Structure 1
Amino acid sequence: MGAKPNIVFILADDLGFSDLGCYGGEIATPNLDALAKNGLRFSQFYNTGRCWPSRAALMTGYYPHQVHRDVLPGVGGGGRGVRQEWARMLPDFLKPLGYRNYHSGKWHLDGKALAAGFDHSYDTRNQGNFFSSKGNTLDGVPVKP
């Protein structure tokens, strides 16, 4: 058996399925197209109207309501609590296979990315402001703005 493949999973908010060049989009995305050409492309999917339930489904393999991610963590509403212990995250499956797991971007799941099995995390808590790193953390340590 050959070397393990690298796994690069990109989840982008507000990106339509046909926005990338590899799916027929009009915008040139040559680097993403190259990754898609030599990798796995998803063509059948379901998503939710909000980002955090979709993230929960992709990270756990369960429907959002099964893992109590039908409300935004820390904001309230719904009173659903935190993700159940049996709903393991993707790094729980990859780490035993020798993979290192890195997170970059907004988390929007319960807890912290490091506690969910990631080896490193660049958490962009200030995701609404594209020009400032205020509020962002690297492995839980605030990044200087």
Structure 2
Amino acid sequence: MDFFTYGSELKAPLLMLHASVLIILHFVYMSMYEILMNHYEYVPVEFFLEVVKSNFLGSSLSRELSIPFDTCHNHPAAISTHTYGIERMKLLKISFKWQMLLLKRESLVYIFKYFQRHAMAESTLEATLQYQSSQHKAPLSPRYFRL
């Protein structure tokens, strides 16, 4: 609670309440004060870092974060051992089943899109072959493309 009031000019009235309620009340009180006074100013990063480092919460946080994370004490079922806590093959199977479920649900759209792309591919192939055959002055199109 001291960290939130450390850099501010206005001190919120503290009641004998739970710590989370006090923090919420402080934020509400400070936001109402800011709205009423219409007072916003830029806080430089250097000033914010000085305030955080000079506060006991900031210094304890920097001490905790300076220690590298040790993975040897992890539980075998921890998230960091596998991707999302399960093997990659099982995750691939689940993803494939999910895609098949979506395919079944939207099958009409997929079928329509398949035939639309097939028609576009046929027309592109025909146009390409006609262009190439007109360049070489030889009728190659019927030989390569028949309906």
TM tier relative to shorter chain: under 0.3
TM-score by length of structure 1 reads 0.23
- Structure number with the higher helix fraction is 2
Bigger Rg, which one? 2
TM-score by length of structure 2 reads 0.22
